[in-house]
Chains A and B, each alone.
Chain A
Amino acid sequence: MENKIKVLKAKANQMRKLIITMLAEAGSGHPGGSLSSTEIIACLYFDVLRHDPKNPQWPQRDKFHLSKGHCCPAVYAALALCGYFSEKKLLTLRKLGSTLQGHPDRRTPGIEVGSGSLGQGLSVSLGMALAARLDRKDSRVYCLIGDGENQEGNIWEAAMAVAHFKLDNLCAIIDYNRFQIDGRTDEIMSLEPLVNKWESFGWHVIQCDGHNIKELLEAFAQAKTIKLKPTAIVAHTVKGKGVSFMEHVVDFHGRPPTQEEKTIAIRELEEIAKDEEDLKNG
């Protein structure tokens, strides 16, 4: 377990550097939520998900759907590190003709269904989970939802239905970084009590620190054991996590780093990686 945590920490750090680099190159995009969901996505792609980058259409695969589509840089970073496509490809993000669109698109190897218009992803995941049950597959479906996205009515239509259909093969993760593009979720449209809401809709809810690999892995493991009801992991996170001047800063919801900011951010992330390495070597 200790070693696995170290490996995943290192993956998350690599992902963050790629996120910063590709966004600075693209000149637009959403760093805040990409950085808050990095550990969640790292745990999924490098440990939890059953998938094969050499065979993206493997019928027995688990599925991941990014309902908060604007945070696709984090997923693209994970897909590149897994080998779905080259890291070089990341520099084409948001450019004309690129397979890496500004919001997820099926033309990208490893992306199951496009997303971007918020609120629909839990329904899409519900469809995948129903199909897996119909086909008697043991595949699981994971859906990452933004906190602001919980303001969409479609989320609650889906939440009601997933519980109604008793889809225990579906696990939703809520990236609760407490910011949305216009400001703090508390001020724009309060989500609280968020955990009670999901529980009252018939879900098993697990709360954890969304940057703590151990807690995340335990949450995913627990979710697998819950039968006859779906699980929602409310992951408490920090918007812009990992880059000092981006943390808790709403401006970085939808603004990419400048070249100068990129240099500072990469330096910071390299220092974190070095500290981790030093710690490992005692």
Chain B
Amino acid sequence: MDKVYARDVYGQTLVELGQKDKDLVVLDADLSGSTRTAIFQKAFPDRFFNFGVAEQNMMATAAGLASSGKVVFASTFAMFATARALDQVRNSICSNNFNVKIVATHGGITVGEDGASHQALEDINFFRAIPNMKIIVPADGPQTREAVICAYKNKGPFYIRLGRSKISSLENKANFIFGKGQSLKEGKDLAIIACGIMVQEALAASAILEKEGIFAAVVNLHSLKPLDEDLLVNLAKNYKTILVCEEHQVTGGLFSAVAETLIRKAPVKVERIGIENVFGQSGSPKELMEFYGLSADCIAKKAKKIFRQ
């Protein structure tokens, strides 16, 4: 299947929703071309507001709009949506449980050449700790559409994290259900859990492992909050080891979420692939995925090591 930009899908889905709901408004902070909210702006210029380079103002304004009955989508890069505007998101949006959907693009190391200042690697950690906030990291284009519609339909604040690069669509996956993971592949020896672009890598790693006689299940855990605890407990029953893969620091993201659940409900060995508490740097997305140990090859290597221990 052709590769698409998840952010293109986001912009198109906004238009689709905006046609049906005139209370839907979209905000951006001088990155509308990159986040693709410009697609919405073109269709509904009166319901689009650009705040310039001022993310804190955008987020607190989103709260005011939501308090007046608007469904607000606010977009910028993941770095600035989370770290820059954290207090505004916590105190003005989440503590009031307002209908603000933060859809951030350029999450993760695959931002690439822009380097460390623009590579959001702590965003999920920041938002996961805030009550009322719900988090989805879609794995491909079609799932991005489902995630955006889900955030629109469900009350309260949402964070949807999208990447910068084009991604291919996953085949044969079940329907998207918010809060429920998707089993993409059955296995025998271990289970790999991933979200976002790491799902593709996990599937590719599983194919590599299969050639060597290691059968790894693959799960797409697109909903990070709330987390599919039942699925995790079931995985722990069936697999001795679980390997969590994320394009995020190993603190506070998917690995932490999975480990926090399993340590309480079904202790089992949980290993991790992620950014090991370092800042990123410039490079092509492919180079960075290799360098920081996130690629399919790296996942396969780690899985083999775990399996043979």
Q: Do A and B come from one complex?
A: yes
The chain A residues found within 8 Å of chain B, CB to CB, are: 65, 106, 112-117, 119-121, 123-132, 134-135, 153-154, 157-158, 160-161, 165
Note all chain A residues with C-beta closer than 8 A to B180. none
Per-residue CB contact flags for chain B residues 36-57 toward chain A (1 = under 8 Å, else 0) read 0000000000110101101011
Closest to B53 in A: A157
Report how far A124 CA is from B56 CA in the complex, Å: 11
Nearest Cβ in chain A — how far from B81, in angstroms? 15
Rounded to whole Å, the gap between the CB of A109 and the closest CB of chain B is 15
Determine the chain B residues whose CB is within 8 A of the CB of A65 once the complex forms: 64
**CB neighbours of B96 from chain A (8 A):** 106, 113-114
Q: How far, in angstroms, from A115 to B46 measured CA to CA in the complex? A: 28
Residues of A within 8 A of B57 (CB): 123, 126, 154, 157-158, 161
**Contact across chains for A154 and B95 when beta carbons are under 8 A apart:** no
A128 neighbours in B (Cβ, 8 Å) = 64-65, 67-68
User: Which B residues, 78 to 113, have Cβ-Cβ distances below 8 Å to chain A?
Assistant: 87-88, 90-92, 95-96
In the assembled complex, the Cα of A247 lies from the Cα of B285 at a distance in Å of 62
Most chain B CB within 10 A, of A115, A125, A126, A157, is at A157
Known: A113-B67, A124-B60, A127-B68. A134 touches B91 (CB 8 A): no
Offer 15 A-B interface pairs, CB within 8 angstroms, sorted by A: A115-B91, A117-B87, A117-B90, A120-B60, A120-B63, A123-B92, A124-B60, A126-B61, A128-B65, A131-B67, A131-B69, A132-B68, A135-B68, A157-B56, A161-B61
A123 and B91 in contact (CB under 8 A), knowing A131-B70, A154-B56, A157-B56?
Answer: no
Closest Cβ–Cβ distance, residue B15 to chain A (whole Å): 18
Closest 3 CB pairs of A and B: A127-B64, A123-B60, A131-B68
The answer to whether A123 and B95 have CB atoms under 8 Å apart is: no
Q: Does B209 contact A (CB under 8 A)?
A: no
Q: Does B205 sit at the interface, judged by CB under 8 A?
A: no
Q: Which chain B residue has the least Cβ–Cβ distance from A130?
A: B65
Q: What CA separation (Å) do A128 and B62 show in the bound complex? A: 9
B25 at the interface (CB under 8 A from A): yes
Q: Is B218 at the interface (CB under 8 A from chain A)?
A: no
B172 to chain A, nearest CB (A): 43
Alpha-carbon gap, A103 to B127, bound state (A): 23
Query: Which chain A residues border B67 with CB–CB below 8 Å?
Result: 112-113, 124, 127-128, 131
Interface size classification for chain B: 20 to 34
Chain A nearest Cβ from B24, distance in angstroms? 11
Centre residue among A121, A127, A153 by max chain B CB count within 10 A: A127
Q: Is the interface of A mostly helix, strand, loop or mixed?
A: helix
Q: Is residue B288 contacting chain A, with contact meaning CB distance below 8 A?
A: no
Q: A228 to B74: give the CA distance in the assembly, Å.
A: 26
A115 to B56, CA, bound (A): 15
Choose among A113, A115, A165 the residue with the greatest number of B CB atoms under 10 Å from its CB: A113
How near does chain B come to A140, taking the closest CB pair, in angstroms?
A: 13
- B63/A127 in contact, CB under 8 A: yes
Contact present for B56 and A123 (CB under 8 Å): yes
Least Cβ–Cβ distance between B76 and chain A, in angstroms: 13
**From residue A76, how far is it (CB to closest CB) to chain B in Å?**
18
Q: Does B66 contact A (CB under 8 A)?
A: yes
Other-chain contact of A160, B25, B47, B54, B69 (Cβ < 8 Å) = B54
Write the chain B residue with the least CB distance to A143.
B64
Closest to A112 in B: B67
* Residues A157 and B54 in contact, CB atoms below 8 Å apart: yes
B64 with A134: CB separation less than 8 A: no
The answer, among B51, B56, B64, B69, for a CB contact under 8 Å with A113, is B64
Closest chain-A Cβ to B10's Cβ sits at a distance in Å of 22
Interface centre among B46, B52, B91, B95 (most CB of A within 10 A): B91
Contacts of B59 in A (CB 8 A): 123
A105–B110 Cα distance when bound, in Å, is: 40
Report whether B61 and A127 are in contact in the complex, using a CB–CB cutoff of 8 Å.
yes
Cα A126 to Cα B51 with chains together (Å):
11
Task: Give the complex CA separation of A127 and B68 in angstroms.
Answer: 8
Q: By the criterion CB–CB under 8 Å, are B64 and A154 in contact? A: no
Question: Are B87 and A114 touching (Cβ within 8 A)?
Answer: no
Complex alpha-carbon distance, A116 and B56, angstroms: 15
Tell me, rounded to whole Å, the shortest Cβ–Cβ distance linking A70 to chain B. 13
Of the candidates A115, A127, A161, the one whose C-beta lies within 8 Å of that of B54 is: A161
